[in-house]
Amino acid sequence: MHKQSVAIAWRKFKNKYRLVGTKCSNCSSLYYPPVKICSKCRRNSKLEDYVFKEEGTVFSKTVVRSAAEGFERGTPYVLAILELEAGVRVCGQVVDCDIDEVKIGAPVYCVFRKMYTGGKEGIIQYGLKFKLRK
C-alpha cells in the first residue's frame, strides 16, 4: 500500500479545516475551492495559496428535509450558498440555528464540525460549516 507523504497529508489537512483557496498574483482573482489555473490569465497564471477570512453572508439557501444516506441526522437543515470576500461563493451547511433564522444577506462565520461518520469502522469526518453571526 502506498504511504502518503507527511507534506501531502498536511496540505490536505490544512485545506480541509481552513478556507484555503487560490489567488492569482497576476490579476488578483480569488478562487475557492483551489484551482490549478487562473481562468482569466490561463498560461500566465501565477497561483498561490490564499486563506479566506472565515466569514461571509448568505447568498441563497434551501432547506434539506430528505437528506442523502449518512446525512439524515439533523434534518431538516439549511444548506446555503455563502458569499465570501471578493464575491467568491461556497456551498455549506448553516448550523446551530432555527431554519427560519437563516435569511438572505445574513452574516455567517466558519465553524469546525463533524460532517459524517464513514464506513463500517465508524470513522468520524470533520470539516467546515457555517454559523449565523448574531
- 21 bridge partner residues: 50
**Cβ atoms within 10 Å, residue 72:** 10
CB of 45 to Zn ion, least distance (A): 6
Single residue of 4, 9, 14, 27 touching Zn ion by CB under 5 A: 27
**What is the rounded CA–CA span in Å between residue 123 and residue 87?**
34
**Residue 38 sits in the site that holds Zn ion (CB under 5 A):** yes
Which of 12, 14, 40, 89: binder of Zn ion (CB under 5 A)?
40
Q: Measure the CA–CA gap between 114 and 25, rounded to whole angstroms.
A: 34
Total site size for Zn ion, rule CB under 5 A: 7
Look up residue 130 and give its amino acid.
F
> Where does this chain touch Zn ion (CB under 5 A) — which range of 14-22, 37-45, 90-98, 120-128?
37-45
